Chains A and B, each alone.
Chain A
Amino acid sequence: MSENKSPKTLFDKIWKNHVIDNIDESNSLLYIDLHLVHEVTSPQAFEGLRLSKRNVRQPDKTFAVPDHNVPTVNRDKIEDELSKKQLKALEKNTKDFGVSYFPIDDIRQGIVHIIGPEQGLTQPGMTIVCGDSHTSTHGAFGALAFGIGTSEVEHVLATQTLLQKPAKNMRINLNGKTQKGVTAKDLILGLIGKIGTAGGTGHVIEYAGSAIKNLSMEGRMTICNMSIEAGARAGLIAPDETTFNYIKGRNFAPKEDWDQALKFWKSLPSDETAKYDNEEILEVNKLEPQVTWGTSPQDVCSIKGQVPNPENEKDLNKRQSIINSLEYMGLKPGTKLEDIKLDQVFIGSCTNSRIEDLREAANIVKGKSVKTKAMVVPGSGLVRQQAEEEGLDKIFKEAGFEWRESGCSMCLAMNADKLKPGERCASTSNRNFEGRQGKGGRTHLVSPIMAAAAAISGRLTDVREFI
């Protein structure tokens, strides 16, 4: 049995633990431990179950929450009829099929990728799926977590399994110590700038190195969250004491069998001599706070940088892409990023709406006033409650921020929170795609503290001036 003794990566171990059947070398039937569901990508899947008279195989391993469509103000009255219909459908579907559900008025409601970890549902070694690409967030716990389409949502509901092609292993070492003002968001943006939005295609990325080891769980979630923006199937970080301390005591965390779970979790990290199909290194010592200037997350550079000149790009497709981006963004080559004025600032999304994000942003904002329209959308009802207990809501409100209720909000503009055509926003979300925050809206991706600094100065700003 030499195969069993060969060194394995964290991904290999989780994969092997979950294979029910190897159908052929490029297709395996994989067991799914946790299925998260939201209102936008699930109605057609539940409808499929009804039409074929099938049930949800494991309602107790399926958790649903409304997040994409929910208003972040005046929640008792949803005015958008289509949103209302989709939210009602989720409520009915979860009831009909006996699926666990956190309704809009429940304190536990929030963005699906915030509440999984918050409730202790997300644990090392698990397979986790959701009809949402940012499911990669949960990889921060050493769980194999990835986004799936609605047909696959239906497959998981009906069978608690998924047909999957094995991924390739990629390890990215983030070495060194970050400068002050440089956060997990800057690390992942800097990395995507280096490897590109297709750099991880077909791979599961394992993030390693001292800069990862030193991150909190919140920071690790931010990193894994944006793995999909590097094109990866999933992101992974080896579970360690930081992970275990975060999980302990949470609602769904192991209780009487904690020691047994812990022993298993400690066996998960990649073997020292495990082989990877690809490796990358990012030295973080000199990394500066990052800002995107274009319409893809790879269009990123230091806040001290300038809008690039397409003439300097030799690849014709890439040159055209820069020309399109700059036209859409209303930017001229050579403009200093720090000179770009803003209309709005958004602090929120599954990338950056956890308590640590809000604490750090509040710290920058304290005692100052905003020069743009600005809002904070906490990731969950519980994050919001915690922030209010710490007085963060007051700091934000006194500075002129709107303090909203939890949901995806202006990350993808499915609810009423959206940019108007031509409006420019510094946003802690994950995608600066054309129209992502509203048709014609212009997005600059930044960290929470960079967003806070931007709101105060009314333009893209180096947060280090405020520290």
Chain B
Amino acid sequence: MEKFKKIVGIAAPFTRINVDTDLIIPAESLKTISRKGLGKDLFSYIRFNENGSQNNKFILNQPNYKNSKILVTGKNFGCGSSREHAVWALKDFGIKCLIGTEFADIFYNNCFKNGVLAIILDSKKVEKIIKIVSSSKNSELEIDLESQTVKTKQNEIINFDILPYLKRNLLEGVDDISKTLEKKKLIDEYEFDMKKKYPWLEKKNG
């Protein structure tokens, strides 16, 4: 997995609440067998007009936020469908970090499996960041995972918490599967015990 250490980039305020993964990437864009190339369909139903032209009202179409690397989100971002395509699309578009008060569970997991940092802050801090980055001359933020800080253009520092294993995984770009396969012996032992304890779970179609 791609590592995440530090990024400096434009942060776009997208304050809509309950943004679901269908809105992030609609079902018609899921007919793919690849993880790549989904950025073009990111938020497609609200990013583009009926005739395919850009919706200039949408934040990521506005000149200052076109190349955003950070999205500051409303409450409960990423709710609904488990589609990892939502994170693939954000990442392919160039978004490497999200900041919000609350993310839906499956979406949050999916971010960290793809080297995307989702930062949870209390609503006062998120509102403050939204206020700051809404001014185009101050929309750049520096995110440093090692020191767990968000730094504004005015050198104001906002600290964030993160679970230690999520931090480590991102910093090291850990491949979860390889790490779990190192525990093969434990899994073997578990399965051996389970066969004795719950024999009916081993039965095939009968």
Contacts and interface: CB of A to CB of B under 8 A. Distances in A.
Q: Do A and B bind each other?
A: yes
B158 interface: no
Contacts of B22: 412, 431, 433-436
A101 interface: no
Contacts of B165: 23-24, 26-27
B104 to A, nearest CB: 6
B204 interface: yes
A252 B114 CA distance: 36
Nearest to B200: A254
Interface stretch (A81-89, A277-285, A344-352): A81-89
Contacts of B87: 149
Nearest to B34: A44
Contacts of A26: 163-165
A69 B176 CA distance: 30
A158 interface: yes
A161 interface: yes
A302 to B, nearest CB: 22
B201 A126 contact: yes
Interface residues of B, number: 58
A149 B84 contact: yes
Interface in A178-232: 197-198, 201-202, 228-229, 231
Nearest to A84: B31
Contacts of B157: none
Contacts of A339: none
A363 interface: no
A435 B206 CA distance: 43
Interface in A122-150: 123, 125-126, 131-133, 146-150
Given A85-B33, A434-B22, A413 B109 contact: no
B156 to A, nearest CB: 24
Nearest to A436: B22
Given A260-B199, A433-B80, A434-B22, A412 B180 contact: no
Interface in B24-42: 26-28, 30-35
Contact of A201 (B76, B176, B190): B76
B181 A159 contact: yes
B177 A154 contact: yes
Given A31-B194, A198-B102, A414 B201 contact: no
Nearest to B35: A44
B180 A41 contact: no
A332 interface: no
B177 A54 contact: yes
A151 B66 CA distance: 28
B17 interface: yes
A58 to B, nearest CB: 8
Given A47-B33, A159-B181, A198-B75, A231 B187 contact: no
Nearest to A23: B165
Given A47-B33, A197-B79, A439-B45, A33 B114 contact: no
Nearest to B107: A149
B17 to A, nearest CB: 5
Interface in B63-108: 74-76, 79-84, 87, 102, 104-106
A82 B80 contact: no
A296 B18 contact: yes
Given A198-B76, A296-B18, A412-B27, A251 B205 contact: yes
A21 B190 CA distance: 10
B16 interface: yes
Given A33-B201, A158-B177, A159-B187, A151 B163 contact: no
A435 B45 contact: yes
A147 B177 CA distance: 18
A385 interface: no
B203 interface: yes
Given A317-B15, A412-B27, A433-B22, A158 B181 contact: yes
A20 interface: yes
Contacts of B80: 133, 228-229, 431, 433
A413 B13 CA distance: 30
Nearest to B109: A149
A69 B113 contact: no
Contacts of A197: 18, 76, 79
B180 A161 contact: yes
Contact of B32 (A82, A155, A434): A82
Q: For B27, B46, B74, B181, which residue has the most chain A Cβ atoms within 10 angstroms?
A: B27
A260 B79 contact: no
Contacts of B190: 20, 31
Nearest to B22: A433
Interface in B152-206: 163-165, 176-177, 180-181, 183, 186-187, 190-191, 194, 198-201, 203-206
15 contacts: A41-B84, A44-B33, A44-B34, A44-B35, A47-B34, A69-B31, A163-B180, A165-B163, A229-B80, A260-B199, A296-B18, A296-B20, A317-B15, A321-B17, A435-B26
Interface of B: 15-18, 20, 22-23, 26-28, 30-35, 45-46, 50, 74-76, 79-84, 87, 102, 104-106, 109-110, 113-114, 163-165, 176-177, 180-181, 183, 186-187, 190-191, 194, 198-201, 203-206
Q: Which 7 A-B pairs have the closest CB atoms?
A: A254-B200, A151-B113, A82-B31, A43-B33, A149-B84, A147-B82, A149-B110
Given A44-B84, A434-B23, 16 more contacts: A20-B190, A27-B165, A41-B83, A133-B81, A149-B83, A149-B106, A151-B176, A159-B177, A198-B75, A198-B76, A198-B104, A201-B105, A231-B76, A231-B79, A412-B81, A433-B23
